[in-house]
Every structure is written in C-alpha cells, then in structure tokens.
Amino acid sequence: MFDDLNEKIISCCLCPRLTEYIKSVGLTKTKRFKTEQYWSKPIPSFGDPKASILIIGLAPAAHGGNRTGRIFTGDSSGDWLAKALFETGFANMPTSVSINDNYKLKDVFVTSVIKCAPPQNMPYQSEILNCSQFLKKELDLLNDTVKIIITLGKIAFDNYCKINNIKKIKFGHNKIYPINQGKTLISSYHPSRRNTSTGMLTWQMWIEIFAIAKSLINPKENSN
C-alpha cells in the first residue's frame, strides 16, 4: 500500500508554486552541490511500515531532501534526527546523507506535512490542505501499529491535531498528551538550524524526546 501511495506523492503537482520552486532549486542548485543531480520532486515518507513511532516534520529541505530524494537526508536537521535515532536504537547508523547510504530505521516511520520544499520553509495553508490527503492516508496505514506520534514544530503539531480533531492542547517542547486509541502525542521543537544554532533546541532537549518515546513503547525494558 505504501508503494502505491508513494507513487502518487512523487507524481503530485497540485501546488503550482511548490512544483515550480523545487524544479528551480534543482536547476540553480547551490555552490556546495553544483555537480549533483537534484531530485526536485515531491518526497515520499520513509521508514518501518510497521512502526510504533511516527515522526512528522514540516517539509523537505530545498538542498536536503529536495536534492537527495529522501526526507531528513543531506541537511543539518537530518543530521540531528539520524544521530538521535541511532543513539536511541531506532536507526542502524548515525548519519543520513544519501538515498543510497543503506540508512535504515527500525520501529520508526518519518513523514512530513508538506511533501515539497516550500520557499523560506513557509507553505501556504492551501498547500498544507492539498498535502493533507497524503498524511491522512499514511496515518490510516500506520494506525494499527503506531503508538507514539512525535510532531516537530508547531505546523506539524497543529496539522496533526486538525486531522484528528484534537482540541484544547497547546504546542510546546516536550509536551506529552494521551490522545485517541491509546496513543501518545509528543510535541517538540523542530531541529532546524535556526533552533539548534541559537540554543532554542539543545542536544539534551532533543535526545530526551526520543528517550521518552522509547520508554513509552518499552516500559518493561526501561524499568529494569
């Protein structure tokens, strides 16, 4: 089922502004990656299709996922996520640099609100609405196994709550909410370069999110 969904995501062109932007980024490139061939298409999700933990980010990075073809790959946010997942036992290696690097996730699935890189990382509400069909489908496919949802940033938090009709809870870092069907929602700041370079999000704050998620899905293991 994920293969069919990913094909639909990759071929999507519902948002003309985003379609034009990701193609233009792939043509102009940036100096560091001048010789590389950019993906420049919508980015499908990635990870274990039977995951207990779902991570929802904002969107691919213009010179990260939009270049490499895999979400949270080839940029600083991807570096932070890969290292944290490796250190908490959810990834087989601490880096995510290329779609061909053999990076694998165990019991974790990673997706995003928007499947195309938006200019200035600021999608329009109409674009979020267009893309929500894909996130809804992913949530349906993962519903039987996912127990923990980690949202990275306020847009991811708000959109997840809207899709699931969750009200009267507020975004913040390391906020933990029991929600429908015995699941738990954890909100986190996004590991964007702006947040990590200013100290808004420290490494200790970040790694704690994944340690808590692990303890929630393996309570017996963490009590020994």
CATH of the domain at 18: 3.40.470.10
Is 81 a domain residue? yes
Is 223 a domain residue? no
Is 176 a domain residue? yes
- pTM comes to 0.95
pLDDT over 70 percentage in the chain? 97
pLDDT at residue 16 is higher than 60: yes
**Chain centroid offset of residue 16 CA:** 22
The residues, ordered by sequence, that sit 6+ positions from 3 with a Cβ below 8 Å of its Cβ are none
Determine the Cα–Cα distance for residues 113 and 95; give it in Å rounded to an integer.
Answer: 23
Q: Work out how many domains the chain is built from and give that number.
A: 1
Is 224 a domain residue? no
Q: In the prediction, which pLDDT does 221 show?
A: 53
Is there a contact between 51 and 107 (Cβ–Cβ < 8 Å)? Answer: yes
Q: In the prediction, which pLDDT does 219 show?
A: 65
Q: What is the pLDDT of residues 22-71, one digit of tens each?
A: 999 999 999 999 999 999 999 999 999 999 999 999 999 999 999 999 99
Is 196 a domain residue? yes
Beta bridge partners of 47: 109
Determine the Cα–Cα distance for residues 209 and 187; give it in Å rounded to an integer.
Answer: 9
Is there a contact between 156 and 166 (Cβ–Cβ < 8 Å)? Answer: no
Q: In the prediction, which pLDDT does 222 show?
A: 47
Residues spanned by the domain of 117: 2-217
Tokens of 6: 């990913």
Is 222 a domain residue? no
Is 80 a domain residue? yes
